[in-house]
Structure 1
């Protein structure tokens, strides 16, 4: 959940907490760098290929990205995309008879047969609350048998109103600050006669107006605190935050809309399998393309950036809108990926409420039965997943948990007390490992690149590690790969870090934020895999 901002302009500019994630620029491609060689907590990707994997035999494997869409034309992704060799593109026939017509690059479970696609969706909280709000609009029911349902309604009503009011307030604050920042940007550029307000330019400001000098200094501090190259970049990031909040108000928390009519299925029927279309890019492939690039963007091709894994094909499965995904779609996306050959599935999404967890649980068990490893992002609410609802998760409602599941928290590239991303969810019982997730540079639509932060970025780093292991050590099972990844983490038993979300800078033991208390490392994982594969 995004923090509420102060509406005091100078307070915002002077505070490193306004949007802060890093005091200086993140090192290029830092998630692939080595802690010892490069002095940053990357996963040692380049060192691993150079020292351990050079000349080794491998098998190409398929990694499914269940997300909001993947740009299939991206210069750094098009060569690593999975293609269904049994399907003849564009002939309108289900050639491989798997129930999905023309599924060349994967499948889209949030699209309609007429080619339209869902972009924005409601939150699960809204979908649970809206029908009960209608049912109990006249207040407490006289029928005693309805009392349990009424109590559920009251809880959801409280949660919904709290979420709505907080989102509305945040939107107003963010939008107000954005407007002020745009005015300052234009005014300063004009007065200083410059085209760009970056740290170097702002550092040299020394006019006869102390207010301008102070403003320039505060802007410089803000850019340094957020790792932004210039004020235009900072404004763009803030604009995206404003758009996200507006989308949540207009769609996510809107009790009157029903975008699901686009798909034309019965959203309450989780047993329904064959719906959607073959448009795996959809209207907004920014998030999914970024995730795909972290896993497997073409390595050493002289453009863009390097993904973690080589010899991998990315299968795109679209099931995540701007809003909350539906359990039915998640379950079907997992099953589709498994049935079409994926050995690792990345799931960089999540929500606070569930609708049909049983359907998702059954799909996870199905993946386990087919030796498929699932990697899931822990979430970005700075919450303890041990005590707060976070779905999907590895714990089955029938008891027990998935042994083929890895839950991932986000690590900053900074060291010491600021090692953990301030937004990352955590959990001594629920989160398995931490991985790089702040200022991760990767692919976005139209053959462009961008730095994003989130556990959504940390999960594909782990998915990439899993893919490397499954590629070079194909006899190892999904459970063995999980064991290797969690047992090869680098531990920091004495490290004290600022607790995620702690505005007072309260510190906790890093070892208490996850089950392993460790950070993933490809180099150590490959060494352990080599040992295990000989047994």
Structure 2
């Protein structure tokens, strides 16, 4: 019997967003005739039996990842195909193309007068339950690394409002691409990718969604511009990468875009591509054991991104469960380049409906009643989705205040630099009783302590 899994974008919405949460409502189930298959480099998809399979479509060519479908009307089921391909010597791995949905609740009220004072997550001088952002900003405001390179955070989500007045100044711009001419001007394999990519439509047009817009604002809403709110970084570049369609393959394909841009940036010494240092992954798959071989594409992708210096900030479940026991994707995947996050509240405690795991969840970050950007304005949301961009933003911020010695490592060995930075994040947390013994670090993100540590790295 076919199992059903959920990939969930974790967030609580403070307003009625039913028209914006379109793809959140579908029930999860595997796509009945689709598989994600990684072929060995020497073979590719050429050896597939044309009598049984449709022409395989590439998802991420650089990784030999393809979307494979059984021909309609065939007595050869998707399950049969999965078994067959897993025994095929030309195949590295094969898995179902799982359906996705948002993991969300809705709040009843939305503040309508945006002020920095509402961002308890960044500054709570009376209670000190925040990430010490104002102290961290004494070191810098984000934006560029020690070599003067723009720092980029990739927001992989259902979409985001690229015209939001508090985000537009911080959007990543592909300067080599001419918008709207239908030509791949920079030769990176993607047409009209001005601010990012839509893996569902294979275009540069990114839809506006509440969840992705809110997440983007937490990581990098423009600071000191007299508008609305401020992000963890005042000046970071935000790459908008849409993964719509409720399906694993669009997420993997979206990651493939991010990977391609970072590899191009490294290969051209910054002339093309983007210096992506973190991805925000405010989604996941409940009760899914990433170590049992059913979800190999996920770990493979995180490893591939990590090797070029990209850390993946990843949300854990919006349930009070021990994910060490229940399993979780992606936070239960083995890649060292994942920074898994749970949700803390304004009492500096783990939010009651947030996952945990001594072996699996790295640390906590504020994710309860977080005030940030939404399409057309500002609003409050709650969830591990909101905790995660604090980490994605923190990774970018640390690159901006890092020492010259760290920058040398980042240029010569980006994978090692990523792991050094992750280690600093975990060593500099504020220890919390509610996270002790149930997370790896036992604490909540402290941006200032982490910034001071990486600034002193030698």
Task: Please name the residue that 2:215 is paired with.
Answer: 291
Contact 2:365 2:445 in 1 (8 A): yes
Correspondence list, 1:505-520, <5 A:
510-520=435-445
Task: Please name the residue that 1:489 is paired with.
Answer: 429
Kindly provide the CA deviation profile for residues 345-378 of structure 1, in whole angstroms up to 9, marking residues without a partner as x: 1100112248962222221121111111110011
* 2:136 matches 1:39: no
Q: How many residues align?
A: 319
C-alpha change, 1:277 and 1:39, in structure 2 (3 Å) is same
Correspondence list, 1:271-350, <5 A:
276-280=202-206, 282=207, 284-321=208-245, 325-340=246-261, 341=274, 342-350=276-284
Contact 1:379 1:456 in 2 (8 A): no
| Residue segments in structure 2 that go unaligned for 5+ positions in a row | 1-7, 11-104, 109-115, 262-273, 411-416
Correspondence list, 1:395-434, <5 A:
395=333, 401-415=334-348, 419-434=349-364
Tell me the SS of whatever aligns to 1:31: coil
Tell me the SS of whatever aligns to 1:516: coil
C-alpha change, 1:414 and 1:443, in structure 2 (3 Å) is same
Which structure has the highest helix share of the two?
A: 1
* 2:318 matches 1:380: yes
Contact 2:426 2:441 in 1 (8 A): yes
Among 160, 166, 176, the alignment partner of 1:70 is 160
Contact 1:310 1:468 in 2 (8 A): no
| Residue segments in structure 1 that go unaligned for 5+ positions in a row | 3-17, 112-275, 396-400, 498-509
Aligned equivalents of 1:317, 1:483: Cα separation in 2: 27
Among 27, 47, 53, the alignment partner of 2:140 is 53
* TM-score, scaled to structure 1: 0.56
Contact 2:211 2:374 in 1 (8 A): yes
- Greater shift, 469-478 or 52-61, is seen at 52-61
TM-aligned CA deviation for residue 463 of structure 1: 1.1
* 2:453 matches 1:523: no
TM-aligned CA deviation for residue 455 of structure 1: 0.4
Correspondence list, 1:100-499, <5 A:
100-111=190-201, 276-280=202-206, 282=207, 284-321=208-245, 325-340=246-261, 341=274, 342-352=276-286, 353=288, 357-393=295-331, 395=333, 401-415=334-348, 419-446=349-376, 448-473=377-402, 474-475=407-408, 476=410, 477-492=417-432, 495=433, 497=434
TM-aligned CA deviation for residue 86 of structure 1: 1.6
Tell me the SS of whatever aligns to 1:426: coil
* TM-score, scaled to structure 2: 0.65
Give the root-mean-square deviation of aligned CA atoms. 2.7
Task: Please name the residue that 1:149 is paired with.
Answer: none
Aligned equivalents of 2:117, 2:175: Cα separation in 1: 39
C-alpha change, 1:516 and 1:57, in structure 2 (3 Å) is closer
Aligned equivalents of 1:430, 1:392: Cα separation in 2: 10
Kindly provide the CA deviation profile for residues 393-428 of structure 1, in whole angstroms up to 9, marking residues without a partner as x: 353xxxxx222210000000124xxx2111111111
TM-aligned CA deviation for residue 389 of structure 1: 2.8
Aligned equivalents of 1:97, 1:480: Cα separation in 2: 33
Kindly provide the CA deviation profile for residues 330-358 of structure 1, in whole angstroms up to 9, marking residues without a partner as x: 22222211221211111001122489622
